[in-house]
Amino acid sequence: MVQALHSKSSFFTCLLALSLIAVLSSNVEAVTHRHKWEVNYGYKSPDCYKKLAITINGESPGPTIHAQQGDTIVVELNNALFSENVAVHWHGIRQIGTPWSDGTEAVTQCPIMPGDTFIYKFVVDKSNTMNMQAGTYLYHAHYGMQLTAGLYGFIIVSVPDGVLEPFVYDHDRSIILKDWYHASTYEQATGLSSIPFGWVGEPQSLLINGKGRFNCSLLDSSVCNAKNPECSPYSLTVVPGGRYRLRIGSLASLSAMSFEIEGHNMTVVEADGNYVEPFETKHLYINSGETYSVLVKADQDSSRNYWITANVVGRKPSTPTGLAIFNYYPNHRHKKPPTVPTTGPLWNDTASQLAQSRAIKAHHDFVHSPPPRSDRMIVLLNTQNKINGYYHWSLNNRSLTLPATPYLISLKQNFNGAFDQNPPPDSYDVENYDIYSVHDNVNTTSSNAIYSIKFNSTVDIILQNANSMTTGNSETHPWHMHGHDFWVLGFGNGTKFDMVNDPKGFNLVNPIMKNTVPLYPYGWTALRVRTDNPGVWIFHCHIEPHLFMGMGIVFEAGVEKVGKLPKSIMGCGETKRLINP
């Protein structure tokens, strides 16, 4: 339980600074948290439909990792899958000094083979900038479509003892959101890489803390059993009058969602591990890869329960509302609320989603000012294309295809043949490209080329959305960066980014820092990043089938400063050249 003062005065800043100094000088021992994970297949019925999932120690979602800022986390991962490799990414953790622990297959490591045990070891977080890393993070598989298969969970990093947070609560709770498919990930991936194209479609259900609901009535009860307790809705029990910090993270494969607690407003106070200038909302929009903390008061009629709902937004939904119960103690935790669950805001009310994105600003006591100007600007046109008849997503006409040898190793060992050495373009034909119409983009190619960015420089990245290959359609893409938080400078509202005028509107005063940010239909999103973390990092759409179809870029910065790579990340591709029997 954490108690903190809420203050808008500079008194708070002062207090915080003092307490930080106190903590940092008090020689507190950082703790090492050791976890043993066995990754295996398991039959799961999260939405009553029984199917094979990839589990950690038999569970999906996996166990929550708890730590305090500055602690070390060690995860000893044994791959007990039969013939399938695995890699796990620690989403939002910057891996300062340990870029080989980022868990990104083909970027920072060879995947972990069946029978092998790999040790992930990293600190949460050494500070390389002002912002320390207490807050809400995620982990998930970063290989093939294994996130979709169910390998995901929370990392919760709390502030050191005695350090105050800029808000008050009595109880700390967490909810992880996921969409769920009944087709196997092998089937999904095969469809995505086939002619004719087999799209994964909308998910069968939305899971709240690993529990959802699917209408079993049409299916064989051996496959779908509505009475299976495994799929009874998650129930969040609250004490009347209690003040709750609710951490909400999404690791959806596809769906953006609106999250709501019937009859209760939420005050947003944290986003992706960064404190937010508090604002109240009825719906929290959340994209895959994002985390938020909201404060909720259990101050409603406590004689009944309330619905917690998750609804698809951003795509025309065909998935039932995800349901959980906001349970006022001492009501029975499975007592149904007397109301009809909300279906949430209109799925295509982009304006409302955009308004939330714009409302998220750094807490006034935790503003980390961005550098006033950038050294380089990379504009990335997001398009859907066909290459040799296969559907892809592309940035500036390059669709990312990952190499057999991880970039981090290729770069350190000078394996120049391991990937295309010609960097991809920094921009597109801004002047002539019509973002509102379908394009053939016949020059699009698959490429494993990467961006090389000067270490300790400031880069602006402009994500520019466009029409997909469907007339009148442009999709929302949540972009996630590894190894860094970035400043969110601004969003365009259904327009092409104007190089001259739009930068004038950038928020350089109190931009939020995040690791995942949405790009809205036909719009643009501008972000600024300091390349202060030596390594090779992927920046990609967090919709797993989109990444699978090439929607990402890879960049290196300061890779020459990376220390000696551990042997354990090797074994695949050209790294075999380093074997000397």
Interacting residues toward its own copies by CB under 8 A: 41-43, 52, 82-86, 106, 110-111, 113-116, 143-146, 184, 186-187, 189-190, 194, 402-404, 409, 412-413, 564-565, 567-568, 570-573, 575-581
- In whole angstroms, the minimum distance from the beta carbon of 123 to its own copies comes to 23
Q: Which residues make Cβ contacts (< 8 Å) with residue 474, sequence separation at least 6?
A: 435, 465, 466, 467, 468, 521, 522
DSSP string over 101-124: GS--BTTTBPPBPTT-EEEEEEEE
Burial (CB count <10 Å: 0-12, 13-18, 19+), residue 573: middle
Nearer to its own copies, 284 or 572 (CB): 572
If we measure between CA atoms, which residue out of 58, 72, 80 comes closest to residue 29?
A: 72
- In whole angstroms, the minimum distance from the beta carbon of 83 to its own copies comes to 3
- Mapping DSSP onto H, E and C, the string for 160-216 reads CCCCCCCCCCCEEEEEEEEEECCCCHHHHHHHHCCCCCCCCCCCCEEEECCECCCCH
| Amino acid of residue 406 | P
Residue 311 pairs in a beta bridge with 258
Question: Exposed e or buried b for every residue in 63-79, given b needs 16+ CB within 10 A?
Answer: eebebbbbbebebebbb
- In whole angstroms, the minimum distance from the beta carbon of 559 to its own copies comes to 14
Angle of CA points 4, 286, 333, to nearest 5°: 70
Nearer to its own copies, 257 or 402 (CB): 402
Nearer to its own copies, 267 or 568 (CB): 568
As a whole number of Å, the end-to-end CA separation of the chain is 55
Nearer to its own copies, 86 or 157 (CB): 86
- In whole angstroms, the minimum distance from the beta carbon of 527 to its own copies comes to 30
Nearer to its own copies, 459 or 562 (CB): 562
If we measure between CA atoms, which residue out of 494, 463, 478, 464 comes closest to residue 350?
A: 494
Tokens of 159: 């502030």
- In whole angstroms, the minimum distance from the beta carbon of 181 to its own copies comes to 15
Nearer to its own copies, 69 or 98 (CB): 98
- Contact present, 177 and 248 (Cβ < 8 Å): yes
Burial (CB count <10 Å: 0-12, 13-18, 19+), residue 92: buried
- In whole angstroms, the minimum distance from the beta carbon of 12 to its own copies comes to 48
Nearer to its own copies, 443 or 580 (CB): 580
- In whole angstroms, the minimum distance from the beta carbon of 581 to its own copies comes to 5
Give the number of residues written for the chain.
581
Nearer to its own copies, 78 or 445 (CB): 78
- In whole angstroms, the minimum distance from the beta carbon of 362 to its own copies comes to 38
- In whole angstroms, the minimum distance from the beta carbon of 394 to its own copies comes to 20
Nearer to its own copies, 295 or 572 (CB): 572
